Structure 1
Amino acid sequence: MLPASLDEAVDALAAAPAAVPVAGATDLMEAVNAGRLRPAALVGLGRITELRGWRYEDGGTAVLGAGLTHARMDRPDFAALIPALADAARTAGPPQVRNVGTLGGNIVSAAPAGDTLPVLTALEASVTLARADGTREVPVSHLLTGLDPVRPGELLTWVRVPLLHAPQVFLKATGRSGPARATASVALVLDPARRAVRCAVG
């Protein structure tokens, strides 16, 4: 299925709750090739342009589309907004992975080595999950720990990230030089409004 809009994608998942949404497919194809996943059907999100951008929201929040690629997050305008997330996106893999791999895919796959996950957790980001009968907001940390997982028929559409306008950094260790899968990673952010320092480890 190749829906052309967000509403069509939500309707497609309502009609086939066992279907797997797919955008960049970097994590999905790895799972399929390793025999860990055999999707009954796929809902392709590549034609839904609204999920590939980002915008500001009142209250000092950035709303990121789930289809935002790692390569897009590495651009200077985005890096000035959320530096640690840009750092994570920059090291997510070789160019061919960064060009197609998406923020939403990184979150939903919840792989331990997912580069954006410590950053989103430290920033206390949340996601919007859409389904035919409405939407709900869930902290990224709840998805990652299984406290409140994505349910059948739901589509991760938006990621809301508070803009702290303060120092933040992402660092990772790999088994080789250059972009590679993390063996360990850490995100550290300062939150001046709360006079706090937050840290998340991957």
Structure 2
Amino acid sequence: MSLINKEIGDFTVQAYADGDFKTVTKADVIGKWSVFFFYPADFTFVCPTELEDLANKYEEFKGIGCEIYSVSCDSHFVHKAWHDASKTIQKIKYPMLADPTGALTRDFEVMIEKDGMAERGSFIVNPEGKIVAYEVIAGNVGRNADELFRRVQASQFVAEHGDQVCPAKWQPGAETLKPSLDLVGLI
């Protein structure tokens, strides 16, 4: 079953962000573009490479009005410990959401029940709180922040220009497609 246009459920979680513990709720998400970036666990191997990639691009995401939320089933205390112990993770400025009960991870349908951890899932959520794009991949394959950023830009573009669609490899300023009656069945 597709999660496209699914409204995210109500949630309240603890987060580690900007050197402090914070509470993040669904109300904090509504009204802006967001990326929920699920990963298996802190103190692992592939995860820090992905989170650093996002950290390096975070200002660009903020520049287009998009907040990043990384999410694992670790507690906010573990997020802080990882942040304190790792030069790579110290680069992170976006909120690291703690989901030790797995409620948020289950709402996005990326919980690996037998392991109590999240799949590698990236979700773009629009200002209305609905999922407009997502990708879930195997735990042994890292994701690319540049491609995720491009997808957010494309999602924002089509939300603003509902009569146009973005072709493969579309970048801002590039030509889009305007479906004609002849192509309606092919989209």
Q: TM over 0.5: same fold? A: no
TM-score normalized by the length of structure 1: 0.24
TM-score normalized by the length of structure 2: 0.25
Q: Identify which of structures 1 and 2 has the higher relative contact order when contacts are C-alpha pairs closer than 8 Å and 6+ apart.
A: 2
